[in-house]
Structure 1
Amino acid sequence: MHQIRGDSLLNLENPTVVDLSLDIYTGMPYYPGDPQPSVEQYRHVSVDGVSLKRLALGTHSGTHIDAPAHFVIDGKTIDMLHPLAACGYAKTIDVSGSLSARMVLNDADITRKGEDVILIYTSYYGMREGAQSGVFPTLSRRFAEGLVDAGYKCVGIDSPTVGDAEVHKTLLGSGVIIVENLSNRLVEVISKKAYFICLPIRVMDGDGAPARALALM
């Protein structure tokens, strides 16, 4: 998974780039109980000769990667992961038509055809209902076990969480990296050949980290 293959499932020389990252700003949605993100102007170019902002974030603010240490005792922290741990050819599945706000995913097609990453489009950030309410589209444990059995190395979702503690432990305990809070632009990647790139900031001993996520098509 950590090597970008040259056998070209798609042309990476001049790709279409879809930014799957959420904006970071004061008042942005955040998971209930997590630190509230804020972006403050710290210096002003008109006064100080330079502009500088101060960020206050949790390790799981915005688009982010969950490291195994998030739920696994003695699990790898974000700075211990390979830089390309959340990168690879991706399969994107659309489950938006079958979801209520709380319905878990069970029966979607997760068959691998050479992909290392599976991306799950729920349309959560298209609906905007349920922000900060704790009502999100989530995976079932059975679905998570299916992803592990299928051999995926990374799962991404356009929801604040993939699921409850057992779902996290099932994935992270098996070495499957989790990417949460992908943007609603994931709809543009459905059924397309894509290479997924998600690079976290390097937080020492981090249980996760905000990240920039892209799909190259």
Structure 2
Amino acid sequence: MHVDLTQPIETGMQTYPDDPAVVVCPHATHDEHGVRVTALECGSHTGTHVDAPAHTEADGKTLEAYPLERFVFDAVRIDCRDLEAREPIPASRVPDSDADLVACWTGWDAHWGTERYLEHPYLSPAAAEVCIDRGFDVAVDALNPDPTPTEDASADEPEGFQAHRALLGDDRLILENLTNLGAVGDRFELRAYPLALEGDGAPVRAVGVVNE
């Protein structure tokens, strides 16, 4: 069974604060031109997407440096739905597993498109280090594995992009804005092929493959 884990790309969709706005509009129509063509304007970190190390690391790899098989993951899902807004995912949640990606199931995709989506749980720096030690890439069904800055941020939260820098600095990949993780099991294959952009990140079509 194939499960779509991707947020749709559409005009005005939610992005990270100050990222480029998303615009999807007709460029040509059947009535006027005999064909239909859609114009798309968006940033490289739009919607469900993958971060390459170059996103935060000046000397980090860009997407084209990876073979296609690097974007197929043996994923283990960890249940973080009990965590509250802006609560860190502790290192103790990171499993000792032979998988190669940890998918953090926070359930925060239920808030997609709202201000509350910015108040998601986040990966603690200690949890990020355990992921590195165990060789995991990381996926989240939230805007960011780091806390997203808002007026509700507390003084004791990690500043900046600590999880990003730790993971991407170790040649790990990060997938953000997944959805529908409740439809896959605790172990599944995640396929997330990015657009062929030579850059710091790109939207993906994320698909979970589950054995029925």
Length-normalised TM-score, structure 1: 0.85
Match 1:182 to one of 167, 178, 185: 178
The AA in structure 2 aligned to 1:178 is: I
Counterparts of 1:84-103 in structure 2, within 5 Å, are 84-97=69-82, 99-103=83-87
Task: Name structure 2 gaps, 5 residues minimum.
Answer: 147-159
Task: Name structure 1 gaps, 5 residues minimum.
Answer: 1-15
Length-normalised TM-score, structure 2: 0.87
State the 1:196 CA deviation.
0.9
Provide runs of 4+ in structure 1 moved above 3 Å.
127-134
* CA distance, structure 2, for counterparts of residue 176 and residue 201 of structure 1: 18
* CA distance, structure 2, for counterparts of residue 107 and residue 190 of structure 1: 21
* CA distance, structure 1, for counterparts of residue 69 and residue 135 of structure 2: 17
State the 1:100 CA deviation.
1.6
Contact 1:32 1:132 (8 Å CA) reproduced: no
* CA distance, structure 1, for counterparts of residue 18 and residue 117 of structure 2: 10
Alignment correspondent of 2:9: 24
State the 1:109 CA deviation.
3.1
Alignment correspondent of 1:211: 204
- For residues 166-185 of structure 1, the C-alpha deviation after alignment (integer angstroms, 9 at most, x for no partner) is 111100011110000101x1
* CA distance, structure 2, for counterparts of residue 43 and residue 132 of structure 1: 37
Contact 1:31 1:132 (8 Å CA) reproduced: no
Counterparts of 1:65-76 in structure 2, within 5 Å, are 65-76=50-61
Structure 2 residue 154 is the aligned partner of structure 1 residue 161? no
Counterparts of 1:97-116 in structure 2, within 5 Å, are 97=82, 99-116=83-100
* CA distance, structure 1, for counterparts of residue 41 and residue 101 of structure 2: 30
Contact 1:95 1:108 (8 Å CA) reproduced: no
Q: SS state of the match for residue 182, structure 1? A: coil
* CA distance, structure 2, for counterparts of residue 106 and residue 130 of structure 1: 25
* CA distance, structure 1, for counterparts of residue 38 and residue 113 of structure 2: 30
RMSD of aligned residue pairs (Cα, Å): 1.7
- For residues 68-118 of structure 1, the C-alpha deviation after alignment (integer angstroms, 9 at most, x for no partner) is 000112110111122222322110011012x22211111453223321111
Counterparts of 1:116-155 in structure 2, within 5 Å, are 116-128=100-112, 130-131=114-115, 134-152=118-136, 154-155=137-138
* Residue-pair matches, total: 197
- For residues 25-62 of structure 1, the C-alpha deviation after alignment (integer angstroms, 9 at most, x for no partner) is 01211111100111011101111100010000100000
